[in-house]
Structure formats: structure tokens, C-alpha cells
Amino acid sequence: MPPDETPEILLIRQTRPDVAERLSGRFRLHRMEEAPDREAFLDAVGPRIRALAVGAMCPIGAALFDLLPRLEIVASFGVGYDTIDVGEARRRGIVVTHTPDVLSDEVADLAVGLLLATLRRIPQADRYLRAGRWREGSFPLTTSLRERRVGILGLGRIGRAIAQRLEGFGVAIAYHGRTPQADVAYAYHDSLLGLARAVDVLVVAAPGGPGTNGIVDAAVLAALGREGIVVNIARGSVIDEAALVAALTAGTIHGAGLDVFANEPHVPQDLIDLDQTVLLPHVGSGSHYTRAAMARVLGDNLLSWFDGKGPVTPVPETPWSGR
């Protein structure tokens, strides 16, 4: 890079001012959301853009890459990156980074909280009290976490953190993933259907993308049984939402706690109308502490890249071995 050339970065759906504040001291920033005419904007600045800083769940692929011929790196704000075409990025020599580790504990905490809220109907009990119904009689008894068998779909960083927390509740834990992991004592099932048959709580912690799209289907839900509980803090696409609504409506399973949905922020009204669901607006990592840590990692990746040190947390599909 010539010493007088300031790298130019395109910000897409960035919601934290500290990201832009930190980067502005080193780079020239362009904000997609401020452009009244996106096509004209990209025609003007696209040939100069060398990096993207993108918010979570932003679709990034070949069409945008075509407009950014000098693009070197895509820094994503989040651990999941299924909306980024990493295969196309790899073919073009573009590195993709994400923000793993720093949000695992926060999301795992929420997963356990969502499980307890679903089992013990905590939001429903809160509404019962606020509506003045306690004076009419006690809130109905609920199901329990006692003697439950919990299955985790995806024993990655977040899945492991969830399992570690659940150990303290004395429940049996099993998991399904691409391969068994030698360093854990949890029971491994080589199929998702086999896991569902062995447990009555399914916690979804698997990444999104074509390989997991709709894999929690009607057969898996039926295998959980009438006392079954589904908790999803991963990606909404992993669950067949129509099958989930049908299973809840028919009593095939007992309840569901969901932080993610297939078409966010649009949540099926059928799920909203069901009383045995606890629904959250994708807040798994949504604390000031964790979002600030994620912002730091995103910035670290870009600063390290343009310092010639390579990315800090590249995704596995676009590894970097130096230049």
C-alpha cells in the first residue's frame, strides 16, 4: 500500500457508533445506509473499497463483490456468517472474519434462561400477575427441568458453554454434530433423529446455511415426544417453522423457546398466538458488555489486516497463511 493511501472501508448495517469511531482514525469510512441512491453510491466508491465491515445477518455475495474489485477482507459483526458467500469470497481471494468466543458465554446464559422460562412458563406467570389474576387463584403448575434429558444440536463453542451450564442442573446431556468429540463425556448420537429419540429437550446451537436448513423437521419433533421442548438460539433456518407450529398446535411437543426465526424480524403470527412459546427478538448476545467486545474483535481484524499482520479471527472457509 502506498504510504499516502488511506484504506477505504464500506460500512453496511453497522449499529454501534464505537465501531465507526475506532476505525475513523485510521480509515476513510463510507456508510451504505446514508446513500440515497445505492447504485450510484457503489459506482462512485466501489472501485476504491478494500474492506467491508458488516452487521450480523447481512447478505453478502457475488453481486456486491463484482462492484468492489479491490476488496480484500469482509469483517462480520457476529459469530454466524451464513449470509456471507464464503465460497465466492475464497474464490476471489477475499478473507472473511467473524467474532467468535466473545459472545459464547452471553448466548449460553440466555439459552439456559430461555429453557427455564419455557419449562416454568415464566413470561406467562408474569403476565398472569400483571393482569390481576393471582387474586382469582394460583397460577397453574408447570413442567420441570428435573429428570430431563437434554440434547444439544451442535457442540461448538456455544454448544459446549450451554452443556457446561446444564451440568450444574444434574440433567443427562447428549449431542449430535458432524463428528464425535473425544474430549467430552456427553453421549454422542450420529443422527439428529437418534438424538431426538433419546432426549426430551433439544437445544439448537448449530450454524445456519444450506447444510442445516430445516433439519429440525416434523420427524425430529415427533421423536422428542409430547413432553418435548425445543430451544433455538442459533439460526431460525435450522428449524422447519411450519412443522414446529403444527407440532405445538397438535400437542406433538410441549413447548418452544425461540430467540431466532427464519425471516427476521418477521415472526409467524401462528407462533405468537401459541401460549406455550417464549419468543425473544434475537437478543442472545444483546448485552452492552458483549456487543462492545464483538465490536473490538471486528476492529482488531481490520486494523491487524492493514498492519500487514493478517486477520485475527478468520472463518475456516477463508484461512490466511500469509502473503
Q: How many residues would you count in the chain?
A: 323
Q: Burial level of 195, CB count in 10 A (0-12/13-18/19+)?
A: buried
> Given 5, 21, 227, 264, which residue is catalytic?
264
165 part of the active site: no
* C-alpha dihedral, 282 to 165 to 278 to 202, nearest 10°: 100
Q: What letter would DSSP give residue 156? A: S
> Given 235, 241, 254, 291, which residue is catalytic?
235
5 part of the active site: no
| Placement of cell 445505492 in the chain | 38
* C-alpha dihedral, 210 to 96 to 177 to 229, nearest 10°: -70
Amino acid at 44: A
Asked whether the beta carbons of 224 and 245 are under 8 A apart, the reply is no
282 part of the active site: yes
Q: What are φ and ψ of residue 32, in 5° steps?
A: -60, -40
Asked whether the beta carbons of 150 and 172 are under 8 A apart, the reply is yes
> Given 28, 48, 92, 282, which residue is catalytic?
282
Task: Using alpha carbons, list the distances in angstroms from residue 14 to 52, 79, 134, 276.
Answer: 11, 15, 44, 34
Distance CA 26, CA 73 (A): 16
- CB hemisphere CA count around 29 (13 angstroms): 19
Distance CA 222, CA 303 (A): 49
Asked whether the beta carbons of 2 and 22 are under 8 A apart, the reply is no
Q: List the catalytic residues.
A: 235, 264, 282
